[in-house]
Structure 1
Amino acid sequence: MMTCVYWEDKGEESQWSVDGCTASSSNETHTVCSCTHLSTFAILLQTEEQEEEDPLLEMINLFCMCVGLAFLAVAILTFLLCRWNPKINNTARLHLCICLFLGHLLFLVGMSRTENAVVCAVIAGLLHFLFLSGFLWMLLETLQLFLLVRSLSKVQIIQKEGLKPLYLLLIGYGAPMVVVGVSAAVFADGYGNKDQCWLSKYRYFHWSFIGPVCAILTLNLVSFGVIIWKLQPTLANMKSDISQSRDTRLVIFKIVAQFFVLGCAWILGFFQSSLTVKSIFIIFNSQQGTFLFIVHCLLNREVREEYKRCFSCRFGTKEPPGN
């Protein structure tokens, strides 16, 4: 890393100092400095010991990412093809899986494509958009849950809960597009660098992703607190309808667990200080698709019945009479 400095002479104590000097721009051959005073200036190259890539860790990452992508693909097909209860709105879950699938796939095949600066910048911008969209869809699913709980508290007939799909699509993809557009307009060079196709840390540009993510995670935590607080008296009044109470608790468990798996994976990514933390981050981050498949597909009775029917038709087995 290049640092602009000047020679600060204090009699017996003299040293290079960065006070009043900043690097305006830098590339592989030139660095432009800007200083607010006159003195003897220099550019210092700060060399950091680069960590060697661990081949075993790379193989584990590749294998885990492929497994996660496979389960995301199955989950997407399930949400698209299975026959669901008309009261269930799966728009948020479907598009959460789509964003994660495209984001992880692009991350796997495009993160290291740094040969062409323009292509690298486009990849970084798309990753920024897809991962922000994924987090926002997670927030929208929490909003759907909040609206469901509100309808339960009013002891009314539950219609198809939540916002209309069109509104969800406008919010889920429109808001991240605005964030990426504004970020690119303010500092277009922040997308991509010579090491990887992701957001640059120069001028704290990476906070255009970290900031919205932290805000979404905070809103999710607050929303869960409000939902649980409002749900306590509602569940107490639903004891007569044990089935509905059990289904509601299961929905809440799924979405809360989903929040912790998706959120904690990225929080670990901010603190990769050791090989152990890196390994845990790789496993949690790459297996998001596996987790979503288990929670929203395998733990869903209607989906399991659909799977049984599909396998029965595929392999020519007949279901037992009465099913």
Structure 2
Amino acid sequence: MNLCMSLFMLNIFFLTNSWMASFKSSGLCITVAALLHYFLLTSFSWMCIEAVHMYFALVKVFNIYIRHYMLKFCLIGWGFPAIVVGLLLSINVNLYGYETKLKSSNPADMFCWLRNDTAFYLSVVVYFGLVFLINLAMFIVVLSQVQAMRMQRLSSSTMTQTLHHLKSSISLTILLGLTWGFAFFAWGPAQVIFTYFFTIFNTLQGLFIFVFHCLMKDNVRTQWRIHLCCGPFQLSECSGKAMA
């Protein structure tokens, strides 16, 4: 829920950025740029936390106990990005503002973002690079653990195991934000191709999370049918209660 909320706010500020920039208010643009930066970092942070959570749940299992588990994750996921953004604002508030690389004078092309390349590389590229390495390591460990658990189920056919393995790989890749790694390959002759991959997969990340972790999970679909209780999708138990 925290990851989805973070991605939702990131998309809201990204989609409304040019419109807010068209007001030509320096204070508003700095605020929008800082909030866009903040929710970008929180999205990365919650992807990393999701990876750590899965590691605890599937690998460590009963070998670890953390008091105030969710509270500590919330402090990290929402607090650490706030420290980064707050630090940049305290150093120089003008690090945020109108993007100076855009040469067009058209107001629709104006965008509020980080104006300093050094600040961008340190607070975005390096930040995501660390998250990407952690998530990639967790992805390999968790996927290996899941595969080992499935190998013990002798009743499943080879084709079924392959499909489940593929679905798990894709869903974990989306959930952990590994598709953001396409940005590292968007240079040279392959720049256009990987830029398209980066744009398509990451703008649809929320949709993919909904498909793989809501629509394709039986227990989640059952809960929706219990609580919504409408039309042909309602469970027979709900139908009986409604008639009573």
**Normalising by structure 1, what TM-score?**
0.56
In 2, distance between residues paired with 1:259 and 1:286? 14
Which letter does structure 2 place at the counterpart of 1:147? F
Matched-pair contact (CA < 8 Å) for 1:144–1:162: no
* Shift, 1:308, TM fit: 3.0
Unaligned runs of at least 5 residues, structure 2: 100-109, 240-244
CA deviation profile, 1:274-300 (whole Å, cap 9, x unmatched): 766555444223211111110110011
In 2, distance between residues paired with 1:205 and 1:271? 24
Task: Summarize the Cα distance change of 1:141–1:317 in structure 2 as closer, same or farther, 3 Å threshold.
Answer: closer
Question: Aligned match of 1:109 in 16, 41, 46?
Answer: 16
Do structure 1's residue 99 and structure 2's residue 15 form an aligned pair? no
Matched-pair contact (CA < 8 Å) for 1:265–1:285: no
In 1, distance between residues paired with 2:86 and 2:234? 54
Do structure 1's residue 129 and structure 2's residue 38 form an aligned pair? yes
| Structure exhibiting the larger radius of gyration computed from Cα positions | 1
Do structure 1's residue 222 and structure 2's residue 124 form an aligned pair? no
Matched-pair contact (CA < 8 Å) for 1:95–1:137: yes
Q: How does 1:132-211 map to 2 (within 5 A)?
A: 132-152=41-61, 164-193=69-98, 195-202=110-117, 204-207=118-121, 208-211=123-126
CA deviation profile, 1:79-118 (whole Å, cap 9, x unmatched): xxxxxxxxxxxxxxx1110011011011111245330111
* Shift, 1:273, TM fit: 8.3
Q: How does 1:233-312 map to 2 (within 5 A)?
A: 238-239=152-153, 254-259=171-176, 262-264=179-181, 267=184, 279-310=196-227
SS in 2 for 1:198: strand
Which structure carries more strand by proportion? 1
Task: Summarize the Cα distance change of 1:318–1:218 in structure 2 as closer, same or farther, 3 Å threshold.
Answer: closer
Give % identity.
23
In 2, distance between residues paired with 1:135 and 1:97? 11
Unaligned runs of at least 5 residues, structure 1: 1-93
**Normalising by structure 2, what TM-score?**
0.72
RMSD: 3.9
Matched-pair contact (CA < 8 Å) for 2:48–2:135: yes
